[in-house]
Structure 1
Amino acid sequence: MSKSRLVVGLIINPFAGLGGAVALKGSDGKETRERAFALGAEPRAQQRVQQALTLLKPYAEQIQFVTCAGAMGADTLTQLGFDFSIAYTPNGDESSAEDTQQAVDALQRQAIDLLLFAGGDGTARDVFKAIDEQQLVLGIPAGVKIHSGVYAVSPKAAGRVVERIINGQLSSLKHADVMDIDEELFRRGKVKARRFGEMLIPAELEYVQAVKMGGVESDELVLADIAAEIIERTDDHYLVMGSGSTVAAIMEDMGLDNTLLGVDWVHNETVLANDLTENELFEKVSAQAPGTIKLVITVIGGQGHILGRGNQQLSARILRHIGRENIWLVATKAKLEALKGRPLLIDSGDEQLDQEWSGLIAVITGYHDEVLVRLQSID
């Protein structure tokens, strides 16, 4: 699948919100849905999704949807005229919670950049049960109960968030709570909410004051925040520390000697080797199991390259062994803003890898602070 387009997964719970208009306080369960239909309820989830996606019609050439058959997605996308592929077909005439979970698995196997799902808190719980920890999601509110923080404030707001991503605007990331209440107790006038976990969502961009201030002092504070985040994340990982001043600042905070224009090998806050060649680095990397290594690299200011400029030691075979999911990309928001919406660039020397790795990528911009930026191969 081409990564020159934003790949968006779409799952619709067609029964979401069904019980709201008929005062059933929810739509969880087949029995509740049957009661809702008997009382004259009409499905509205697809209408809510149309409100969100209509805003994206001017960008149709820039989006590839991956969805489910029928009312779980394909019907709505057909009505709106979007290109899409089907990755999952429900098991029966009526979709279930199990269908949602299986659909999440199927869509994630298609390397989606963002999973949009329409429903309420019950749908969010179903998505959470199957979602990968680092998969970006966003809920389109269509249910009766919307306590979870993973939903946009309105369907149109969800569309606006996707629009921002397409236009290359910085989108902050945050982990938001998945909440739900006991519907039976709620029907009896008692609210008992429970937190089930967190999912990763795009959020409104909020600048920390240090970045807004500009100047040497604020840059130092931001770099210290980025260093604190990397240090906190590091467990028993082996670290491949790339070149550049941002990575150098992290090494300085660790109290380690750094090769400014080279690549260093670090473990347990100890430098095991400085200024490695490609062969030397490959020997060390290939001796470790996948997932035990993290690659810390930064963005070349003004250009936007993250690979292929000043760090050619990071060859395609090394990158494949480490894996895209094990990159810790670091940069200040000021450096990213200077790109004026242009994508980050990858030029590893392997066109297939460059295409495979293109797409949205998280950039660590401070302590517990990340933004979402597009990574693109060089044609």
Structure 2
Amino acid sequence: MDSIGVVVNPIAGMGGRVGLKGTDGKVEEARRLGAEPRAPDRAREALEALFRREADLTVYAAGGEMGARQARAAGYDPEVVSKPDGEETTAADTRVAVREFITRGVDLILFVGGDGTAVDVADVLEDEDAETPMLGVPAGVKVYSSVFGVTPTDAGRIAADFDRVEDREVNDIDEEAYREGEVRAELRAVVPVPVAEDLQSSKQLASGSVDALAEGFAREVEPDRTYVFGPGSTVGSIERELGVDPSPLGVDVWRDGEVVVRDASEDDILAVLADPVTIVVSPIGGQGFIFGRGNHQISPAVIERADEIEVVASSEKLDDLDTLRVDTDDEDVDESLRGWLRVRTGRFTTRLVEVI
């Protein structure tokens, strides 16, 4: 590989920790709630991993926080191909940059964002009838497509080392429906993506029966313990067993038979935590993430308050997963979570699964 195009959606993922479940149309609200950008740091991490392996690449980048700044921080001297039209970056700015990359004949487009950014890149490739491969650095709240590296560092390594590509799916979901608890996934494109084991599969939306698991968990809840329930249908089944109407894709906090806060942001959770604390999460089907995808509200600060983490999943879901994964934006927290973990799969049954 001789050249690469880099484009960053600097607002991707801002809505996660403040409980907005996405940033489309919610940037100002996210900022009012105290959200901080996460995409620029993840872009730099990916580019540093790339620089360690391919320092002599020709790098084309969108201007400022859309790529050039992170490329320089990683050690490159990028050629800036475009600049945002206004103070706030838009999907149109991403599309302009991608067209410039295609004109310059780059060997790979490395984008940083979520599914919405993936759609923007794929749309330009289709419009221009280009066969340029694309690879995503995961930074959004929604990551349903199979075009992303598992972590930013993985994406940088894959960009440096790949020697072939295969067609992968770009999926997107309706954020407004998502905020109301309904997942409407749509296949938007099929694009060439570098092949590597660290590329994740598209999220699987189906799950098996977890009634017995929920009943077993509910029988063991402890008085005076605070439970932080993550999103998803498996954890939701436990909440329903406890008499709670779960927020389908949000985070709920429960203690002593009462919902302390529903559909909570990171700050909401931290404000009501009282020791001891149990976090209850279920891995994303097909990907295996237990933290860092779809549950950013359960931040490193929240995780560090917990003395117990319960991972729950049906046996069918675990059958499709070799390992579990974490990506919290805090390497120390990630490292503390790695190792062998006992996952509850039924009323009395558990299975050992490695977290990597």
Q: TM-score, normalised by structure 2?
A: 0.53
One-letter code aligned to 2:173 = I
Q: Partner letter of residue 191 of structure 1?
A: V
Name the CA distance, whole Å, in 2 between partners of 1:114 and 1:162.
Answer: 8
- Distance of 1:182 and 1:57 partners within structure 2: 36
Contact 2:8 2:65 (8 Å CA) reproduced: yes
Q: Name the structure 2 match of 1:105.
A: 99
**Larger radius of gyration, structure 1 or 2?**
1
- Is residue 53–residue 159 contact of structure 1 (8 Å, CA) maintained in 2? yes
What code does the residue aligned with 1:23 have?
A: G
Q: Does 1:26 align with 2:38?
A: no
Corresponding position of 2:192: 200
- Kept after mapping to 2: 8 A contact 1:138/1:158: yes
Q: Structure 1 counterpart of 2:120, which letter?
A: D
| Partner of residue 145, structure 2 | 148
Gaps of 5+ in 2: 198-356
Could you tell me how far 1:74 is from its partner in structure 2? 1.0
**Within 2, Cα distance between the matches of 1:148 and 1:163?**
21
How much has 1:104 moved relative to structure 2?
0.7
- The one of 22, 25, 35 aligned to 1:41: 35
Q: Distance in 1 between matches of 2:154 and 2:55?
A: 21
- Residues 179 and 71 (structure 1), Cα distance of their counterparts in 2 relative to 1, 3 Å cut: same
Q: Deviations over 1:125-154 (max 9, x none)?
A: 111111144111101101000001111111
Q: What does the per-residue CA deviation read over 1:92-114, in whole Å, with 9 as the maximum and x for residues that have no partner?
A: 11110111111111111111010
Partner amino acid, structure 1, of 2:134: V
Matched, 1:174 2:177: no
TM-score relative to the length of structure 1: 0.50
Output the CA distance in 2 between the equivalents of 1:99 and 1:54: 24
CA distance 1:41–1:160, shift in 2 (3 Å) = same
- Give the Cα separation in 2 of the matches to 1:99 and 1:39: 25
Find the counterpart in structure 2 of residue 139 from structure 1. Answer: 136
Residue 71 of structure 1, aligned match among 65, 69, 72 = 65
1:160 corresponds to: 157
Letter of the structure 1 residue corresponding to residue 159 of structure 2: V
Helix, strand or coil: the match of 2:153? helix
After superposition, where does 1:235-274 map in structure 2 within 5 Å?
none
Distance, in Å, in 2 between the alignment partners of 1:200 and 1:6 is 18
SS of 2:164 mapped into structure 1: strand
The answer on whether the counterparts of 2:21 and 2:175 sit within 8 Å (CA) in structure 1 is yes
Question: Distance between the aligned counterparts of 2:139 and 2:80, measured in 1?
Answer: 22
Q: Choose which of 189, 202, 206 in structure 1 pairs with 2:181.
A: 189
**C-alpha RMSD of the superposition:** 1.7
1:59: Cα distance to partner? Answer: 3.9
Deviation at 1:54, TM superposition (A): 1.4
| Structure with greater proportional helix content | 1
1:50–1:61 CA distance, 2 compared to 1 (3 A): closer
Residue 45 of structure 2, aligned match among 32, 43, 51 = 51
Contact 1:13 1:100 in 2 (8 A): yes
Matching residue of 1:231: none
Q: What corresponds to 1:168 in structure 2?
A: none
Q: Is the partner of 1:55 in helix, strand or coil? A: helix
Q: What is the rounded CA distance, in whole Å, between the counterparts of 1:105 and 1:181 in structure 2?
A: 24
User: 1:60 deviation in Å?
Assistant: 5.0
CA distance in 2, matches of 1:134, 1:56: 22
Aligned equivalents of 2:40, 2:64: Cα separation in 1: 11
CA distance in 2, matches of 1:79, 1:183: 32
Letter in 2 for 1:174: E
Which amino acid counterpart does residue 65 of structure 1 have in structure 2?
Answer: V
Deviation at 1:163, TM superposition (A): 2.5
Paired residue secondary structure (1:56) = helix
Distance 1:196 1:120, change over 3 A: same
Match of 2:116 in 1: 122
Counterparts of 1:204 and 1:119 in 2: how far apart (Å)? Answer: 20
Counterpart code for 2:72: T
In the alignment, is the contact (CA less than 8 A) between 2:54 and 2:160 conserved in 1? no
Aligned runs of 1:3-18 on 2, under 5 Å? 6-18=2-14
- Which structure 1 residue ranges, 5 or more long, are not aligned? 166-170, 206-379
Task: Write the distance in 2 (CA, Å) between the matches of 1:189 and 1:58.
Answer: 42
Q: In structure 1, give the amino acid aligned to 2:143.
A: I
SS in 2 for 1:62: coil
Distance 1:61 1:78 in 2: 12
| Greater CA drift, 70-79 or 138-147 | 70-79
